[in-house]
Amino acid sequence: MDYILDLGAVTRNMDQLWQGLGVTLLLTLAANAIGIVAGFGLALLVLNRLAIIRIPAMLFVEFFRCTPALIQIVWFFYCVPMLFNVFLDPITMGILALGLNLTAFNAEAYRAAIQGVPREHLDAGIALGLSPAQRILNIVLPQALRNSVPVLLTNGIGIFQQSALVAIVGVADLMYQGKTLATETYRPIETFTVVALIYLAISFPVSQFVGWLERRRGYAVR
pLDDT value of position 220 = 46
Q: Which amino acid is at 157?
A: I
- List all residues 6 or more positions away from 214 whose beta carbon is below 8 Å from its beta carbon: 150
Record the pTM.
0.90
Structural domain boundaries in the chain: 14-173
The residues, any chain, with a CB within 8 Å of residue 105's CB and separated by 6 or more, are 35, 39, 64, 65, 155, 158
- Kindly report, residue by residue over 79-109, the tens digit of the pLDDT: 988 888 888 899 999 999 999 999 999 999 9
Q: Is 123 helix (H, G, I), strand (E, B) or coil?
A: helix
Q: In the prediction, which pLDDT does 218 show?
A: 62
CATH superfamily of 14-173: MetI-like (1.10.3720.10)
For the stretch 3-25, what's the b/e string if a residue is b when 16 or more beta carbons lie within 10 angstroms of its beta carbon?
eeeeeebbeebeebbeebbebbe
Is the torsion defined by CA of 171, 24, 67, 200 positive or negative? Answer: positive
Task: Name residues whose C-beta falls within 8 Å of residue 61's C-beta, 6 or more positions apart in sequence.
Answer: 42, 46, 104, 107, 108
Rounded to a whole number of angstroms, the CA Rg of the chain reads: 21
CA atoms lying within 13 Å on the CB side of residue 58: 10
pLDDT < 50 positions in the chain? 220-222
Residue 25, C-beta contacts closer than 8 angstroms, at least 6 positions apart: none
pLDDT of residue 221: 45
Q: Report helix, strand or coil for 197.
A: helix
